[in-house]
Amino acid sequence: MISRRLLRVKVLQLLYAYYKNQDRTIAKAEKELFFSVGKAYDLYHYLLLLIVELAFVAERKIETAREKIIPTQEDLNPNTKFIDNVIIKQLANNVQLKAYASSNTITWDDQEDFIRVLFDKLINSELYINYMNSDTISYQEDKKFVEKFFINLLATDDDFYSLMEEKSIYWNDEIEFIISMVLKTIKSFKEGDDQDVSIMSLFKDKEDETYVRDLFRKAIVNHSEHVELIQKNTKNWELERIAFMDILIMELALTEIKEFPSVPVKVSFNEYLEIAKFYSTSNSSNFINGILDKLVRELKDNGSVKKVGRGLVGEK
């Protein structure tokens, strides 16, 4: 499922676009928000299918070599460890993955050049060579190989990042998030899982879907109140001198802290500080930390923060 961290980032991005768009409406922006979340889920499926596509390339090469007029012994008796990788077979046969890919036209068929280059990088990598030459044949070794493909090869490949950014403007900042989802999926697979084993859903549950919608709506509804609160606590700064992204990050943090009783203050606080490190200026995290700390203490003192749920009542 799409993580809460990525959902927060999506809301921040669409909130920024909403205020920068003169022709804005909440309904239009909300539709764009959920479209953006859906594109992240598309990327998740693209990445799961990528290792399957590479195995298909390897299989086709083996079949072509066997059909030579005068095949070599190696052509006739190839090392099939990669194409026999059980994790890859589980992905290739997964009913849910195939159904989503088919209904959403998710395929690598239009990226032959990229796939060919990536395949060459793979088969010449130390990861692949060590795997193919290992005498060990086990489910865990297959799983480790696939995990390391995503971590050591794909996550460091500049060509891959460039291609993903070309394919969708929504994928500029979320590839690492989605790779982590892919890795969780791989780790969750078990030997003996059949084709009907579930992969991650778009949202963890209905609560997450409601969360992202409410966070966006309530941030807009409380915009004026939160800007006034921020301005009051930044007396040494003119509001115009504060980075607009910093203001939006603080607004979202305040919205979540006030409007979502089941989310601990510390979680909201830390999440938005982390987001600030990537989406604002180099000094933003420290600045936001100081201002939010004052704002949260003020909100707690006037009773605006009410947390409910196990371990949250009276949270300090």
In terms of residues, how long is the chain? 316
- 99 φ/ψ sector (left φ>0, alpha ψ -120 to 50, else beta): alpha
Q: Encode pLDDT of 77-129 as tens digits.
A: 889 999 999 999 999 999 999 999 999 999 999 999 999 999 999 999 999 99
Is the pTM for the entire model greater than 0.85? yes
Q: How many C-alpha atoms does 247 have within 13 Å on its Cβ side?
A: 24
**What are the helix and strand counts (H, E) for the chain?**
15, 0
% of the chain residues with pLDDT over 70 = 95
Using alpha carbons, select from 313, 218, 232, 227 the residue that is nearest to residue 265: 313
Residue 203 is given by DSSP the state S
Q: Are 53 and 59 in contact (CB under 8 A)?
A: no
Q: Which two tokens stand for residue 223?
A: 């915009």
Give 2's pLDDT tier (boundaries 50, 70, 90).
confident
Q: Which helix (H) or strand (E) holds 297?
A: helix 284-301
Q: Encode pLDDT of 235-289 as tens digits.
A: 666 666 678 899 999 999 999 999 999 899 999 999 999 998 888 877 778 888 8
Q: Are 62 and 78 in contact (CB under 8 A)?
A: yes
Give 169's pLDDT tier (boundaries 50, 70, 90).
confident
Q: Which two tokens stand for residue 244?
A: 């607009």
Which pLDDT value is given to residue 283?
76
Which pLDDT value is given to residue 129?
97
Distance, in Å, from the CA atom of 45 to the CA atom of 185, rounded to the nearest integer, reads: 11
Write the CB contacts of 201 (distance below 8 Å, at least 6 apart in sequence): 1
Residue the block writes with tokens 């301005």: 231
Which pLDDT value is given to residue 314?
47
Q: Which two tokens stand for residue 133?
A: 């030459």
Which pLDDT value is given to residue 238?
60
Distance, in Å, from the CA atom of 134 to the CA atom of 274, rounded to the nearest integer, reads: 41
Integer Rg of the chain from CA: 24
CA angle 241, 244, 249 (to 5 degrees): 125
Using alpha carbons, select from 78, 100, 89 the residue that is nearest to residue 55: 89
Q: Which residue has the higher pLDDT, 172 or 272?
A: 272
Average pLDDT over residues 42-69: 94
- 42 φ/ψ sector (left φ>0, alpha ψ -120 to 50, else beta): alpha
Residue 29 identity (one-letter amino acid): A
Q: Encode pLDDT of 124-162 as tens digits.
A: 999 999 999 999 899 999 999 999 999 999 999 999 999
Q: Which two tokens stand for residue 23?
A: 């022709």
